[in-house]
Structure 1
Amino acid sequence: MAGRITGPYKGFFINASASLNGASGSANAPHYVGALSLTEHGVDEPRKLERLVELGSVTDFPDAQSALEQLEGAARDYIDELLSPRERGG
């Protein structure tokens, strides 16, 4: 498992972790799952956006750190989308 808290990014803190789920030889092929939490006023804020994200197969990433980097990138993209109407004045 890989995880870290980064921020603030445009006023938001990103708490992300990526872990390998499933086992070799089982019905479910191993895949990476991400847990993501976004807060606007610090990591201890009770109001937050939380999501579980399917990141991809174990063959899509060399390690959990790479899966985590993709998850953090997706979180930054989401924050950009959230703020885009504000930035345009809408």
Structure 2
Amino acid sequence: MVCKWCESEEAIVSPESAYWELPDGTRAVEIKEVPSVKCPSCSMVYVEEDLIGEIEEQMMLINTRNLPKEFTFEELMEQPRLLKKNYFNL
């Protein structure tokens, strides 16, 4: 995998924690085991844009009041959606 920061080919996919502000801005949560890119060359750890989009969309479509302070990426993606799609991103 190629690091988007330093272009090293040593980057790997690694489950990492990420901190996210809920869409309504009421609080931040910790999402554990988010598939992330970790680069040993430049020490950068980041979540790729397409996955950020998936997380943001899921947050818009679920009842975030039911979320605990911390949970796994898998638990987030398994939350039942209130809407079938995000009508705000047309």
TM-score range (shorter-chain normalised) is 0.3 to 0.5
Higher helix share: 1
Query: TM-score, normalised to structure 2's length?
Result: 0.32
Higher strand share: 1
